[in-house]
């Protein structure tokens, strides 16, 4: 599969300079299909899609690993400027590499501390990250 062409803008600069392969971009696109599955209705206290969370998280993690998206430098600048801006403002500053680092951190932390991925689902962090990823790949 050939990676779609990107128009150079400040927002897509990282995509153009990225070391990601077309195979990995395909994996990123597959991850974005999970976005609506990770929306958590805070008022209703449930996921928007009624599939078991364990299956959903396993499928998501499998695709993330299968497409070799893990970034071992995930801590670098991950939480930069958290104190001075809202979650939405920080998300708009993230590029593809930052999103991969953030997702790596979430997945690997979940392996060490069971339930962490689910907590990031319940606060809609994963939903918002995948929404930003979808914007960048559009």
Q: Output b/e per residue, 66-88; b: 16+ Cβ within 10 A.
A: ebebebeebeeeeeeeeeeeeee
Give 125-136 pLDDT, tens digit per residue.
Answer: 999 999 999 999
- What pLDDT is recorded for position 126? 93
Give the residue extent of every domain in the chain: 26-137
What is the model's pTM? 0.76
- Averaged pLDDT for residues 17-21: 74
Give 34-80 pLDDT, tens digit per residue.
Answer: 998 888 876 666 666 556 777 888 999 999 999 999 887 766 555 55
Q: With a cut of 70, say whether residue 87 has pLDDT above it.
A: yes
Which tokens go with 38?
């990770």
Q: Output b/e per residue, 105-121; b: 16+ Cβ within 10 A.
A: bbbbbbeeeeebbbebb
Q: How sure is the predictor about 15, in pLDDT bands with cuts at 50, 70 and 90?
A: very low
């Amino acid at each position: 599969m050939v990676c779609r062409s990107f128009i150079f803008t400040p927002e897509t600069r990282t995509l153009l300079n990225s070391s990601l392969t077309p195979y990995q971009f395909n994996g990123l696109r597959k991850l974005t299909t999970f976005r609506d599955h990770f929306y958590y209705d805070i008022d209703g206290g449930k996921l928007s899609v009624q599939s078991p969370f364990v299956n959903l998280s396993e499928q998501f993690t499998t695709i993330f690993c299968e497409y070799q998206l893990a970034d071992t430098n995930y801590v670098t600048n991950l939480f930069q400027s958290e104190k001075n801006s809202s979650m939405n403002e920080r998300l708009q500053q993230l590029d593809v590499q930052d999103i991969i680092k953030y997702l790596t951190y979430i997945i690997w932390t979940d392996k060490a501390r069971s339930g962490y991925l689910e907590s990031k689902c319940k606060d809609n962090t994963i939903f918002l990250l995948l929404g930003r990823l979808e914007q960048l790949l559009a």
